[in-house]
Amino acid sequence: MISHNPSVSTQTIPQQNQHTKSKKNFNNCNIHKLLSKIHTHDFFPNIKITPVPHIFSSLGLITNFSPQYTMEIDDILQDFEQQARAPPIKRDADLNQQLVAAMLNERMAPELLPYKTELMDRVLTEIQQQQQLLLDSYEYGDSNAEAGVISSDFKLQLMIIETDIERIAYLLRLYIRTRLAKIDSFTIYYINESAGEGSSGGIALLSPAERLYMHKHFKILTQLYNTSFLGKLPSFLQLLDDTTGGETMIATPNLDQPVFIRVVCDEPIVLTMDGDDELTLTKNGIYVVRYRLIKLYVQIGDIVLI
Partner 1 sequence: MPSLKPLKRTEVPLWTAIILKGQGKCNIIAPAWLSYSYLKKMYDQEKKNPEMFSNLPWNWLELSKILITKAADDLADSSTQLCSIIKDLREIRQLKSKRGLRELNESNIQLNGLSLMELNELRPFVLLVMGKMRQLHDSVSTTDDKASDDESDHEW
Partner 2 sequence: MGYYDIEDILADGEKIPCKFNLTVPGLGYLEGSPGKAIENGTKLDLPMWLAEVLAVCSTLENTQDTFIELLEPDFIAPKVMNAIRADPKAVDLHSIMANYYKLCEKWSAMFNEKQLVDAVMVMLKERAMEIDSYASNATKYVSTPFLLSLDEFEKDLYKVTYESKKLMRHWNNE
For 5-20, b where at least 16 C-beta lie within 10 A, e where not — what string? eeeeeeeeeebeeebe
Interface with partner 2, residue 72, by CB under 8 A: no
3-state SS assignment for residue 178: helix
Binders of partner 1 in range 13-52 (CB under 8 A)? 26-27, 31, 34, 37, 41, 44, 46-52
Q: Which does 178 bind (CB under 5 to 8 A by kind): partner 2, partner 1, none?
A: none
Instruction: Kindly state the DSSP code that residue 88 receives in the 8-state scheme.
Output: P
Residue 167, contacted partner among partner 1, partner 2, none, CB below 5-8 A by kind: partner 1
Task: Please give the radius of gyration of the chain, using alpha carbons only, rounded to the nearest integer.
Answer: 26
Whole-number minimum distance, CB 251 to partner 2, in Å?
A: 5
- CA proximity to 152, closest of 280, 250, 21: 21
252 three-class SS: coil
Q: Determine which residue in the list 7, 9, 17, 78 makes contact with partner 1, applying CB under 8 A.
A: 78
Site string for partner 2, 236-275 (x = CB under 8 A): -----------xxxxxx-x---------------------
Instruction: Choose the one of partner 2, partner 1, none that binds residue 251, judging by a C-beta under 5 to 8 angstroms depending on kind.
Output: partner 2
Q: How many residues does the chain have?
A: 306
Question: 247 contacts which partner out of partner 1, partner 2, none, CB within 5 to 8 A by kind?
Answer: partner 2
Could you say which residues in the range 255-274 bind partner 1, by CB under 8 A?
A: 256-258, 260, 273-274
Q: Which of helix, strand or coil describes residue 305?
A: strand
According to DSSP, residue 235 is labeled G
Q: Which stretch binds partner 1 (CB under 8 A): 8-16, 57-65, 121-129, 219-227?
A: 57-65
Q: Are 75 and 38 in contact (CB under 8 A)?
A: no
* Distance in angstroms between the alpha carbons of the first and the last residue of the chain: 8
- Restricting to residues 206-265, which ones interact with partner 1 according to CB under 8 A? 256-258, 260
As a whole number of angstroms, the distance between CA 117 and CA 99 comes to: 11
Q: How far apart are CA 161 and CA 65, in angstroms?
A: 18
Which residue in 2, 47, 147, 270 binds partner 2 (CB under 8 A)? Answer: 2
String of contacts with partner 1 for each residue 273-302, x by CB under 8 A: xxx-x-x----xxxxxxx------------
Query: Using CB under 8 A, which of 3, 12, 17, 82 touches partner 2?
Result: 3
When CB distances are held under 5 to 8 angstroms depending on the partner's kind, the choice from partner 2, partner 1, none that residue 248 binds is partner 2
167, 179, 182, 211: which one binds partner 1 (CB under 8 A): 167
How far is it, in rounded angstroms, from Cα 143 to Cα 191?
Answer: 53
Cα 249 from Cα 137, distance rounded (Å): 55
Pairwise CA distance, residues 266 & 302, whole Å: 8
- Beta bridge partner(s), residue 261: 287, 305
Interface contacts to partner 1, rule CB under 8 A: 1-3, 26-27, 31, 34, 37, 41, 44, 46-53, 55-57, 61-78, 80, 156-157, 159-160, 163, 167, 256-258, 260, 273-275, 277, 279, 284-290, 306
Interface contacts to partner 2, rule CB under 8 A: 2-3, 247-252, 254
